Amino acid sequence: MFKKIIIQENEKGLLFQNGKYMKLLGAGKYYTFSDREIEVVNAAEPLASDRCALDILLADAAVAKQVSVVEVADEQLALHFVNGKFADVLRHGKYAFWEITDRHTYQMVDIADPAVDASVPTYIFSKIPSFYYIRIDVAEYQKARLYFNQKFQKILEAGTYYFWRNSVKVDVGFVDTRLTQMDITGQEILTRDKVSLRVNFVCNYRVTDYVKILTEIDDFEEQMHVAAQLALREYVGKYKLDEILENKDGLSQYVFENLKAKENTFFVEIVSAGVKDIILPGEIRDIMNTVLIAEKRAQANVISRREEVASTRSLLNTAKLMEENQTLYKLKELEFIERICENVGNITLNGSGDVLSQLAGLFKEQNAS
């Protein structure tokens, strides 16, 4: 029984007889019967057959002449370009692409080393599946320690990095390069006179050795925290409460110098350190508030007495001047008359005499009464 097969211009036909590959067929109309079969394949896709292996097809010179063949080994990738444009990435295996209208080229990449070679264009990573590679983003304020199979390789500066996924385990450890603040809060410390204080302390530092801070010291932040605590206790234990409150800067400077001396041990740069708060027990705070109120009241009394003495001295000096100078006395009278007139709506005068004399007389009578 015959069967008609039509092969289009963008297709190829693979002729099989009794299950054996015979030859390649181009576009056209064909007839098959019981022992002959034609497998139609798309010329835009890689050459492959459901009935035979690729090598059998490539053994046909007619096929080999029309295809581009690439073989990818283990731990290798092939970057596939069609007419100069990236198409896809090929894993280990053998591939054949029809070169009827398109030109196929390949860039072979060794992925045994996770590091991506500089010859690999970066833009392809946005076009291939993420299971082929590892992406690492290092921010502007960071450094990254790169490890292959837990072995340190190098420090990565700010930027984006790609590594091939293979049998090598790739890890990174990020380090913040910015100025970092460490708070030591709520330290209960006894002074020399047995007063319990709570001290809050702050320290600003910056990491200087990004590798040794991980490999040569265990939890550097905790060790810095303990070192600051010990320095605080050592200083506070030497002085009485009043001495500490009067010299907070001395406490800050002592702890700062103590931490500064251990910079190389912690692999950091201590930029600054200082006391943030000194919190007193409730009863001590009440006593000190009482003392402060008493001191301020005493200061207010002193100032009040000083002002009274100054006012009295000023009045005495004024009286002496008026006693010695009648003109000044008259001027003072006129000043008081002016003040009276400002506060009086109507003034009625009786009898003879000038107005000023009568007003002066009124003023004297008012003083006498």
- What's the pTM? 0.68
Q: Are 241 and 292 contained in the same domain?
A: no
For residue 202, give every residue at least 6 positions away whose Cβ sits within 8 Å of its Cβ, in sequence order, or none. 181, 182, 183, 184, 273, 274, 276
The pLDDT value given to residue 195: 82
Chosen domain end from 255, 280, 305: 280
Q: Are 205 and 276 contained in the same domain?
A: yes
Q: Are 347 and 260 contained in the same domain?
A: no
Q: Are 118 and 33 contained in the same domain?
A: no
Q: Are 174 and 188 contained in the same domain?
A: no
Q: Are 223 and 291 contained in the same domain?
A: no
Provide the β-strand partners of residue 272: 204
Chosen domain end from 103, 122, 149: 103
Q: Are 148 and 98 contained in the same domain?
A: no
Q: Are 42 and 117 contained in the same domain?
A: no
**Tens of pLDDT along 94-136?**
999 999 889 999 999 999 999 999 999 999 999 999 999 999 9
Q: Are 128 and 66 contained in the same domain?
A: no
Chosen domain end from 252, 280, 308: 280
CATH number for the domain harbouring residue 236: 3.30.479.30
Residue of higher predicted confidence among 16 and 188: 16
Q: Are 213 and 246 contained in the same domain?
A: yes
Q: Are 125 and 166 contained in the same domain?
A: yes
Place of tokens 């002193």: 302
Strands (E), 28-150: 28-32, 36-42, 67-72, 76-82, 85-90, 93-98, 104-110, 133-138, 142-148
Structure token digits, residue 317: 């000096």
Q: List the domain range (segments joined by +) for residue 61.
A: 3-103
Domain count, the chain: 5
**Tens of pLDDT along 186-226?**
778 888 888 888 889 999 999 999 999 988 998 899 999 99
**Residue 14 pLDDT grade (very low, low, confident, very high; cuts 50, 70, 90):** very high
Q: Are 216 and 307 contained in the same domain?
A: no
142-161 in b/e form (b: 16+ CB < 10 A) is: bbbbbbeeeeeeeebeeeeb
**Tens of pLDDT along 39-63?**
999 999 999 999 999 999 999 999 9
Lowest mean pLDDT among 149-158, 197-206, 346-355: 346-355
